[in-house]
Amino acid sequence: MTANAFVSVSLSPPLVLVSVDNRATLHRLLPVTGRYGVSVLAENQEKLSNHFAGRSIEGLHIRFTERRGVPLLEGAVAYFVVRVIDAHTAGDHTLFIGEVEHFESRDDRPLLFYSGKYQQLRMEMAKPTPWPQDEFSLFSIGSIDPPIT
């Protein structure tokens, strides 16, 4: 499935959350398997995103790789292998909280979906963070310049 929300919950231990529609096939599988993989797609993998969002593309060649016995999409920018440790019903979705068993990434541009369409990341030089603990974050959301004194 294509998820449009995947959230970092904790750094110690490393926990993430994915929200899954209660009608989705994955919703029935997660309690049985207890594990899942996340492939953070690269900018050139828009067709894969659409395919796994239910808009099948005939003739699309899908290549998989494997980490710790979990299938992932080849060519992704980052991979997570996650063990489900808790689940919470939230309306018509379930929030699955999991502990990250494996993480790896490569330097490339991720596929972004914002405001109903695919977007591209602007290339800017990253500023060093003023807080050393932020260097260990799974995701970098932004930084605030230190206050001028």
Instruction: Give, in order, the Cα–Cα distances in Å from 127 to each of 83, 108, 146.
Output: 33, 18, 11
Q: Is residue 133 part of a domain?
A: no
Q: Which residue range(s) make up the domain with 59? A: 6-120
- How many distinct structural domains can be found in the chain? 1
In a domain, 70, yes or no: yes
- Residue 81 in any domain: the answer is yes
In a domain, 130, yes or no: no
**Cβ atoms < 10 Å from Cβ of 137:** 12
Task: Sort 119 into a burial class: Cβ within 10 Å, 0-12 / 13-18 / 19+.
Answer: exposed
Residue-level pLDDT, tens digit, the chain, 149 residues: 888 678 999 999 999 999 999 999 999 999 999 999 999 999 999 999 889 888 888 888 999 999 999 999 999 999 999 999 999 999 999 999 999 999 999 999 999 888 888 888 776 666 666 665 555 555 444 444 444 44
In a domain, 101, yes or no: yes
Phi/psi at 3 (nearest 5 deg)?
-105, 135
Indicate whether 131 belongs to any domain: no
For residues 133 and 143, the answer to whether their CB atoms sit within 8 Å is: no
Query: 59: domain CATH number?
Result: 2.30.110.10
Q: For residue 127, tell me if it sits in a domain.
A: no
| Residue 137 located in a structural domain | no
Nearest to 46 by CA among 2, 103, 108: 2
